[in-house]
């Protein structure tokens, strides 16, 4: 506790300078009692500013402003829980911004919508001096030294890649560094914890062969696998197959609140074996299982998870602007010091809290980068999902034409045309057909 040491030496110098012991005693009391638990929390967070695993400001920008950044001043945004001023007040140094698009876009325009959300986060983080776009652990550390807020980009829901590994790779190129395998809908290759949508139902196949290929490709790229929102079976299968540590970017303890979005103890144990991280979600519904909660309920999750797998496996993923109700005293991103204060009151050590605030995430991200480096000689996967697994009429399949069939078709249609008027049309048809046969 260096700050206390400073106070003690300040008190000592007062001792030496003061005329009488009574005055010295008075000064000492003032100093010690003036240094509250709140100050301790804030000091600690200044030294170890928070890496927050999940934030949905970009979703709110779409809903409220149709992504027109020019309409808002990100320093102070109304009707949301996140803006630059409050991130600074809350000592948030790195924010994983979710580029979430709703499950209704699956099999439709999920890829376009995700690109648009990436665009708005990239604009936020390049047009504002307070932000910096980050894609590596080193970037996060550099931003911290420059007193900037680092932005990480995370996809929420595997439906965003439309079952395409090339699309996954291109998202990586745009700066995406994590992806949760599902949101509230199953994908053709992974299972959601939610039964909200009845798409891609499956039995005993929570992670298909293609799903395993997605995990391996994410390992190869250096993209963090996020298990928040997946079913427990899917999470277990991923933990068996991932070479790199994984995260739950915004989930809490199922033992403390038995919500399907939370993580049971047996799964926490497997997460620990993987050296992964659970970043505790603050949404009231996941914290107290009710619409109201307070900071004690949140701290109960931290205490419980620490008992089961240790502070070295815990982080914070607030879920601000993604969920609707938050605990009293933790209503927006400026309130994080209240949580740290509560954990200090519960005898969490400063080392444990430094881990929770940032060091654990940096370690996991670093290990993900190491696995990427280890796999650097591996070629990009050319596995395609089987068409029957996607069952999507919107999916075009482009391939070389079968010339025998084409010639037969041409003969039939030229007989039907009875003359030269149809020839230019036929020629165009032949030209196009020789490029692609579109089904
Ligand atoms: C799924 O697996 C469980 C146990 O692993 C087994 O009892 C059940 O019969 C299986 N169901 C199907 C449809 O294969
Ligand atoms: C939080 O709420 C519970 C009741 O649900 C109460 O017992 C507890 O004292 C509250 N804690 C704080 C810090 O307000
Ligand atoms: Zn979510």
Q: Which of 52, 83, 144, 156 is catalytic?
A: 156
Query: Is 319 tagged catalytic?
Result: yes
Atom of ligand 1 nearest to the CA of 203: 13
**Ligand 3 centroid vs 98 CA: distance in angstroms?**
9
- Which CATH number fits the domain that encloses residue 99? 3.20.20.140
Q: What is the pTM of this model?
A: 0.85
Scanning the structure block, which residue is given the tokens 């070629």? 379
Inform me whether the pLDDT recorded for 373 exceeds 70: yes
Same-domain status, 322 and 410: no
Distances (CA, A) of 34 to 40, 181, 196, 436: 11, 48, 51, 76
Same-domain status, 336 and 280: yes
Task: Tell me what the mean pLDDT of segment 204-212 comes to.
Answer: 93
**Nearest ligand atom owner, CA of 98:** 3
Inform me whether the pLDDT recorded for 66 exceeds 60: yes
Query: Is 250 tagged catalytic?
Result: yes
Task: Tell me what the mean pLDDT of segment 373-388 comes to.
Answer: 96
In a domain, 272, yes or no: yes
For residues 417 and 86, the model is more confident at 86
Task: Tell me what the mean pLDDT of segment 197-201 comes to.
Answer: 87
**Helix-, strand-, coil-residue percentages of the chain, each rounded to 5:** 50, 10, 35
Inform me whether the pLDDT recorded for 2 exceeds 90: no
For residues 44 and 1, the model is more confident at 44
Inform me whether the pLDDT recorded for 274 exceeds 50: yes
**Whether 215 contacts 236, CB under 8 Å:** no
Same-domain status, 293 and 422: no
Inform me whether the pLDDT recorded for 433 exceeds 50: no
Same-domain status, 420 and 382: no
**Ligand 3 centroid vs 250 CA: distance in angstroms?**
7
Distance, CA of 141 to CA of 150 (rounded, Å)? 9
Q: What is the pLDDT, as a whole number, of residue 348? A: 98
H or E segment to which residue 94 belongs:
strand 92-98
Inform me whether the pLDDT recorded for 67 exceeds 80: yes
Residue 251 confidence class, pLDDT cut points 50, 70, 90 = very high
Residue 430 confidence class, pLDDT cut points 50, 70, 90 = very low
Is the CB of 376 within 6 Å of ligand 1? no
Q: What is the pLDDT, as a whole number, of residue 6? A: 40
* Domain span holding position 427: 398-436
Query: Is 54 tagged catalytic?
Result: yes
**Nearest ligand atom owner, CA of 286:** 3
- pLDDT, one tens digit per residue, over 211-245 is 999 999 999 999 999 999 999 999 999 999 999 99
For residues 198 and 435, the model is more confident at 198
Mean residue pLDDT across the chain = 89
- pLDDT, one tens digit per residue, over 19-39 is 455 444 444 544 555 688 899
Same-domain status, 236 and 308: yes
Task: Tell me what the mean pLDDT of segment 352-379 comes to.
Answer: 98
In a domain, 13, yes or no: no
Which residues have CB under 6 Å of ligand 2? 294-296
Q: What is the pLDDT, as a whole number, of residue 163? A: 97
Q: Environment class of residue 425 by beta-carbon count within 10 Å: exposed (0-12), middle (13-18) or buried (19+)? A: exposed
Q: What is the pLDDT, as a whole number, of residue 421? A: 47
In a domain, 6, yes or no: no
In a domain, 4, yes or no: no
Same-domain status, 331 and 432: no
In a domain, 379, yes or no: yes
- pLDDT, one tens digit per residue, over 391-400 is 788 888 787 8
**Ligand 3 centroid vs 283 CA: distance in angstroms?**
10
Q: What is the pLDDT, as a whole number, of residue 31? A: 52
**Ligand 2 centroid vs 40 CA: distance in angstroms?**
22
% of the chain residues with pLDDT over 90:
77
Q: Which token pair is 113?
A: 């919508």
Inform me whether the pLDDT recorded for 259 exceeds 70: yes
Domain count, the chain: 2
- pLDDT, one tens digit per residue, over 289-324 is 999 999 999 999 999 999 999 999 999 999 999 999
Same-domain status, 380 and 407: no
Same-domain status, 426 and 379: no
- pLDDT, one tens digit per residue, over 78-136 is 999 999 999 999 999 999 999 999 999 999 999 999 999 999 999 999 999 999 999 99
DSSP 192: B
Task: Tell me what the mean pLDDT of segment 332-349 comes to.
Answer: 98
Residue 403 confidence class, pLDDT cut points 50, 70, 90 = confident
- For 217, the 3-state DSSP assignment is helix
Distance, CA of 12 to CA of 10 (rounded, Å)? 5
Distance, CA of 276 to CA of 243 (rounded, Å)? 11
In a domain, 297, yes or no: yes
In a domain, 166, yes or no: yes
Same-domain status, 44 and 185: yes
CA angle 104, 157, 379 (to 5 degrees): 125
Same-domain status, 428 and 310: no
Task: Tell me what the mean pLDDT of segment 173-199 comes to.
Answer: 95
Q: What is the pLDDT, as a whole number, of residue 414? A: 54
182: closest CA among 237, 118, 126? 237
Same-domain status, 325 and 418: no
In a domain, 8, yes or no: no
Q: What is the pLDDT, as a whole number, of residue 87? A: 98
- pLDDT, one tens digit per residue, over 139-165 is 999 999 999 999 999 999 999 999 999
Same-domain status, 140 and 176: yes
Distance, CA of 252 to CA of 264 (rounded, Å)? 9
Q: Whose CA is nearest to atom 13 of ligand 2?
A: 296
**Whether 262 contacts 229, CB under 8 Å:** no
């Amino acid at each position: 506790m260096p700050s206390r040491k400073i106070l003690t030496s300040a008190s000592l110098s007062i001792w030496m300078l003061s005329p009488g012991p009574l005055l010295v005693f008075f000064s000492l009391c003032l100093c010690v009692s003036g240094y509250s638990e709140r100050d301790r929390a804030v000091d600690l967070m200044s030294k170890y500013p928070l890496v927050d695993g999940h934030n949905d400001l970009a979703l709110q920008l779409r809903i409220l402003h149709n992504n027109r950044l020019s309409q808002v001043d990100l320093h102070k945004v109304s009707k949301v829980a996140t803006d630059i001023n409050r991130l600074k007040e809350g000592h948030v140094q790195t924010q994983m911004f979710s580029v979430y698009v709703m499950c209704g876009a699956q099999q439709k325009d999920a890829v376009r919508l995700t690109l648009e959300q990436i665009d708005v986060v990239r604009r936020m983080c390049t047009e504002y001096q307070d932000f910096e776009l980050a894609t590596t652990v080193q970037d996060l550390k550099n931003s911290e030294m420059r007193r900037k807020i680092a932005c990480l980009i995370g996809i929420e829901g595997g439906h965003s890649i439309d079952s395409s590994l090339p699309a996954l790779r291109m998202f990586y190129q745009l700066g995406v560094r994590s992806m949760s395998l599902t949101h509230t809908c199953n994908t053709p290759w992974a299972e959601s914890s939610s039964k909200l949508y009845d798409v891609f139902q499956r039995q005993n196949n929570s992670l298909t062969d293609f799903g395993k290929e997605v995990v391996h490709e994410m390992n190869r790229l250096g993209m963090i696998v996020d298990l928040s929102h997946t079913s427990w079976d899917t999470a277990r299968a991923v933990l068996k197959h991932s070479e790199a540590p994984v995260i739950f970017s915004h989930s809490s303890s199922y033992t403390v609140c038995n919500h399907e979005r939370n993580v049971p103890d047996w799964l926490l144990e497997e997460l620990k074996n993987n050296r992964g991280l659970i970043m505790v979600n603050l949404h009231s519904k996941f914290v107290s299982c009710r619409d109201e909660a307070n900071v004690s309920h949140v701290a109960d999750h931290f205490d419980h998870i620490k008992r089961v797998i240790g502070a070295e496996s815990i982080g914070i993923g607030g879920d601000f602007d993604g969920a609707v109700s938050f605990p009293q005293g933790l209503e927006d991103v400026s309130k994080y010091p209240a949580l740290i204060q509560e954990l200090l009151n519960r005898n969490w050590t400063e080392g444990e809290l430094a881990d929770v605030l940032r060091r654990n995430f940096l370690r996991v991200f670093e290990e993900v980068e190491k696995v990427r480096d280890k796999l650097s000689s591996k070629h990009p996967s050319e596995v395609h999902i089987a068409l029957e697994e996607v069952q999507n009429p919107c999916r075009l399949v482009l391939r070389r034409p079968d010339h025998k069939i084409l010639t037969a078709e041409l003969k039939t249609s030229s007989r039907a045309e009875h003359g030269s008027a149809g020839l230019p049309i036929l020629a165009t048809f032949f030209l196009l057909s020789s490029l692609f046969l579109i089904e």
